[in-house]
Structure formats: structure tokens, C-alpha cells
Chains A and B, each alone.
Chain A
Amino acid sequence: MMTETARYRLLIVLLSIVVAILFVLSLTVGPADVGPWQGIAGLFTGDDSLIGLVMREIRLPRALLGLMIGATLGLSGAALQGYLRNPLAEPGLIGVSASASLGAVIAIYTGLSALLPLALPLMALAGALCAVLVVRLMAGADARPLSVILAGVAVSTFAGAMTSLALNLSPNPFAALEIMFWMLGSLTDRSMTHVWLSAPFMLVGWLMLASLGRALDALTLGHETAASMGVDMNRVQRLAVIGTAASVGAATAVAGAIGFVGLVVPHLLRPLVGARPSRLLFASALGGAALLLAADILVRVVAPGRDLKLGVLTAVVGAPFFLVLVMRARRQMA
């Protein structure tokens, strides 16, 4: 057990270093011709030089959002997989991403977002909130994970259908295009306002999800055994669902739906933490942050000027990667 603990600590240290390096790299990549040192220096000088403005108003929020959203996706993915005892669970499963997207789509569709830019993230957050209320209500008091999955699938399907309806009835092709592009997921052109708007929700969500560690460990043995070990299943359901909704809702509100990070990262790190759900939480948060920062750097390096969407890249890279994971898992089982 000592070696497993030591290995876990080493992993956390390594992941933290990787995240720090990628964060700095993210600050130094972009279309504006700013040298790395120049840029970092520009962050800390309060002057209104072009470099200072680019760094503080464009690159810093982008890097911060990459860090926060990546951590959110990794953490919530790990928490939901633990809560639902299912390695295929991901933040989108409980309907939060689809409902937040629907909120944003309504903001674009009605023209509200053109009048007031903040209407989009606010509507998305409202969508996420509705999803939680409906899921909690539908899942009911028995607090069984399966009811949460079923309720989440129902909410996702409905939100997806309404989004399709908005696209279908879209008044002009430009609105449809805007909706499509927004749903692909991106961190381009976000401001510090987006950071301040989403940070409180993410922080609250993180705290709720992080407090689940022990309960998730106990849930390894099934929910009745966990309950017999002093785990309050109602509390766990509340924290898992609301924590995911707050953090993933806020993430989707400012960046659109970014898939696969919440599914792949916990998978990847599980063997490295001895498969313990509690240890997977923090490791996955760091892993998610690293993966999203790396992906966001990649979209800028691979296709500068083409505005390759982050959500597209994570899906294009994530899907085959997941396939390899599944095949390897099958080989181990055989």
C-alpha cells in the first residue's frame, strides 16, 4: 500500500508540473507576434501597451478557462464514473451539457445574445439549472444511480430535440451557422468577464465533487454496502448531480460542449491511482486541465487562422483513443 501511495503522490506532482508548463505555453501561443518572455512580462506590467493588452485581455482568460474547464471536465467525469459505478459515464450523461447548450441556443436564436453578449452564458447556466431540477425530481428519493442515468438520458434527449428544433426553425442561415459553431466548443475570443462569470459556479461545483471521495470509495462495493458503511446515499446523489451541474454547466456556458475529456481522462488515469475513486478525483482534475490546455494549444498551432474548434479536436483525437482503450481492456479480460 505504501508503494501505491507513493506512486499516487508522484503522479500528482508530475501532473501539476505538466499543467503549469502547458498553462505558460498556452499564454505564449497566438496569432499576435509576442515573444514568450515579452508576453509574460507584459502580463505583470500594468501598462496599456499592445502586448500587455493582448496578454491580459485575450491570452490570460483563454489559458485560465482552458485550465478551469479542463479541470471541471476531468473531475466531474471521475466523480460521475465513481457515483454511477460505470466507466462509460461522463459529464454529459446527466443532461447538463445538452441543457446548457439548449439555453445558449435559445439566446442565439432569439437574438438575445446579439443585444447582450452575457445573455448567452447566463441562459446556458439557466439551462443547466433546469436540467438538475428535472433530473433530481425524476430520479426521486430512492437515490439509486440507475434512476439518475435514466433521468439524465431523458433530459439530454429532450434538450437535444429542442436544439434541433431551434436549428430547424432558425430565421436565417447565419443564426443556424452561429448555433452550430457555438455548439462545437471553443475558447477563442473569451474575455475575463467569462472567467469571472463561470469561476464561482465551477469552484462551488469542485468543492461539492471533491467532498465525495470517501463515499465513492465505499460505492466500489455497491450502494447497499456503501450505505451500511455510513454513506448517506441521498447526500451523495445531491452533491454529485448539483456539483456536476454547477461546474459543467458553467464550463458549457462559456465554452460550448467539449466532449471526451470527461470520459477519457478518468480512464487513462485510473490504473495509475490503483483504481481508487477518491484518488482519481484530484488526478483527473489535473489530467483534464492538462489535456484541454494541450488541445487548445494544438488548435492554435495546427491550423492558425482557420479557427479549428476545440470540441472538434478533442472528439477527433478522443474517439480513436477511446477505441484503443476499449480494445486494450478487452484483451486484458480475454
Chain B
Amino acid sequence: MIRLVVSNLSASLGGNTVLRDIAISVSPGEFVGLIGPNGAGKSTLLRACLGLIPSSGEILLAGRDLRQMAAPELARHVAYVAQDRDIAWPITVEALVDLGRQPHRGAFARPAAADREAVEAALQRMDIVKLRSRRATDLSGGEKARVLIARALAQEADLLLADEPVAGLDPAHQIALMQVFRALAQQGTSVVASMHDLGLAARWCDRLVLLEGGHIVADGPPATVLTADLLRRVYGIEAYVAEAAGGLIVQPTRLAQTGIEQETSRDSTV
């Protein structure tokens, strides 16, 4: 069964229409990259899929209407990594990751073996075992990001929505995170992650969804979405696109030359 089906989705924030007629579906085992320029509606789409903002249209999760689901039930199906990495209190990394187990526990239940295993697995996956006793607020930005992703992994939902999870990670941890998402997808979890790094998106995602101005302009395998033509049109950039080292390589090189820009940049670049 298709895990997430969105159709006719529209949403507005503060009177501005941010999403228009979005249709997208995500199957089990897919790792989908959500790309598009700033303000294209990537975060809004993810938040709408969680029911965090009001929207119109249809959102089906595991065949059921998302808006009819109670919050705790929803949390067992979808986990979310927010873009915002604000941690209010200096709790330990382990306690923070354990928060991901809340939807699986009764109100006053003590952690069960399954909870401990899930937390342990998440700590290992995100390479933060050594940080477990540290105060989460004392960590660096990239470390915080990994801890917060581990929290979502511990939730063990079958759909993971991550809003710019690679931002602020060093190259090794960026690749490691992509591998984690790939491994999750291979185990049947669906992952949807918004990202700005087209190189990572090209190399690691099964499918890319390109948003522009609140609607989808392309949806398909990386090779069909990341074409020089589309990148020029949507992002206004020229990019080097090639096949190398067993995968697609996309490297933005410069701004696309149009109109006035052409005149001004010709002097500086050439």
C-alpha cells in the first residue's frame, strides 16, 4: 500500500498561498528528496503532511485521513525532524533521544526493553553514543542536529519527514546520514527529506520532488529532475551535471546568465 498520498493540497500562511494543488505519493522503502529554492514551500509541505498547519485537500496516511487521526496515533506513524534546533532545557542526550519513545509508552510506564533498544540503536546510527551523558544544550550545532535526528529515529515510525537534516553537518556526517536514510528505506521505512545540497540529493535519493513557488515542477529519479535546463529555470544557476564514481554528480557552478545579470557578471567572471 502507498504510505502517504497527498492530493489537491493547498495551504496558506498569513494570507499568502504557500502551496497550490500539490499531489505526491510516497511508497514504503522510498527515500525522497524535497528540493527547491528558498520559499518554495518545502517546509510548509512537510508541516502540512504532519497536520501542524491548516491545509485543504486530501492527505492519506496508511490509507486513512490524516485529519481524522488522534495526535498519539499519528505519532506512531510519522516522525518529524524540525528545521529549528532549539532545545529549551539542558537535558542529557540520552534523555532527549528517549523522548522519541513517548508515543509508544503509557502515561506513567517505565521504559521497556524495546524502548531501550530503540534508543540504543538510534544513538549508534547517529554516531552519538559517546555524547549520551552530555547536556544537549552544550553540543555544537552539528552534534545537536544528529541528536535531534536520533530522537526521531527512536520514534520508529514508518514515515520519517526531515526538514533540512543535513544543514550544518560535516561532510562525513552528511554522507553517514544519507547512508542511514538509505538503510532505513531498505528496511521499508519511507523517508522524505528537504535539502539544499543538490550533490547529496543527486547521489543518495531514490526520487526527487522539485518545488517552485508552492507547486511541484518535477517529480522523478534524480537524473530526470536535475537537468541543466530545469536547474537554470528554477534555481537560476548553471550546474555541472555528470555521471561519475557510480552515480550522478551535480555541482552548481555559477548564476545563470540572463538579461542585466549577463552584462554585469561578464566583466567579473570572464
Binding site for B on A (CB under 8 A): 1, 4, 85, 214, 217-222, 224-225, 227-232, 270, 274-277
Contacts of B74 in A (CB 8 A): 228, 230
Question: CB distance A228 to B89 under 8 Å?
Answer: no
Q: Which of A1, A220, A228 has the most CB of B within 10 A?
A: A228
Given contacts A214-B102, A274-B92, whether A229 and B75 have CB atoms under 8 Å apart is yes
Question: CB distance B100 to A229 under 8 Å?
Answer: yes
Contacts of A4 in B (CB 8 A): 92, 95
Q: Which one, A214, A221, A274, A277, contacts B82 given CB within 8 A? A: A221
Chain B 69-118 residues near chain A, CB threshold 8 A: 71-76, 78-80, 82, 84, 86-92, 94-96, 98-100, 102-103, 107
Question: CB distance B95 to A1 under 8 Å?
Answer: yes
Given contacts A218-B102, A220-B96, whether A232 and B71 have CB atoms under 8 Å apart is yes
B98 nearest CB across to chain A (Å): 8
Q: CA–CA, A85 to B90, complex, Å?
A: 12
Contacts of B10 in A (CB 8 A): none
Q: Which one, B84, B87, B102, B151, contacts A230 given CB within 8 A? A: B102
Given contacts A228-B52, A270-B89, A275-B90, whether A222 and B82 have CB atoms under 8 Å apart is yes
Q: CA–CA, A85 to B89, complex, Å?
A: 8
Q: CA–CA, A169 to B78, complex, Å?
A: 60
Q: Please, what's the 1-or-0 string for B42-80, where 1 marks a CB less than 8 Å from any CB in chain A?
A: 000001001010000000000000000001111110111
Contacts of A228 in B (CB 8 A): 50, 52, 74-75, 78-80, 82
Contacts of A274 in B (CB 8 A): 91-92, 95
- 22 A-B pairs whose Cβ atoms sit less than 8 Å apart in the complex: A1-B98, A214-B107, A218-B102, A219-B88, A220-B89, A221-B87, A221-B99, A221-B151, A224-B52, A225-B80, A225-B82, A227-B52, A227-B71, A228-B79, A228-B80, A229-B102, A230-B74, A230-B75, A230-B76, A231-B71, A275-B89, A275-B135
B221 nearest CB across to chain A (Å): 29
Report if B189 contacts A (CB, 8 A). Answer: no
Report if B225 contacts A (CB, 8 A). Answer: no
Question: CB distance A277 to B89 under 8 Å?
Answer: yes
Q: CA–CA, A222 to B96, complex, Å?
A: 12
Question: CB distance B92 to A230 under 8 Å?
Answer: no
Contacts of A221 in B (CB 8 A): 82, 86-88, 96, 99, 148, 151
Report if B190 contacts A (CB, 8 A). Answer: no
Q: CA–CA, A228 to B73, complex, Å?
A: 10
Q: Which one, B52, B88, B96, B100, contacts A85 given CB within 8 A? A: B88
B242 nearest CB across to chain A (Å): 38
B41 nearest CB across to chain A (Å): 16
Chain B 119-134 residues near chain A, CB threshold 8 A: none
Pairs A-B, 8 closest by C-beta atoms: A230-B75, A230-B72, A228-B80, A275-B89, A85-B88, A230-B103, A275-B90, A230-B71
Report if B155 contacts A (CB, 8 A). Answer: yes
A208 nearest CB across to chain B (Å): 14
Q: CA–CA, A231 to B99, complex, Å?
A: 12
Question: CB distance A222 to B92 under 8 Å?
Answer: no
A100 nearest CB across to chain B (Å): 28
Question: CB distance A276 to B102 under 8 Å?
Answer: no
Q: CA–CA, A219 to B135, complex, Å?
A: 17
A329 nearest CB across to chain B (Å): 11
Contacts of A222 in B (CB 8 A): 82, 84, 86, 88
B9 nearest CB across to chain A (Å): 18
B6 nearest CB across to chain A (Å): 17
Question: CB distance A1 to B71 under 8 Å?
Answer: no
Q: CA–CA, A286 to B100, complex, Å?
A: 29
Contacts of B78 in A (CB 8 A): 228
Question: CB distance B92 to A218 under 8 Å?
Answer: no
Question: CB distance A220 to B82 under 8 Å?
Answer: no
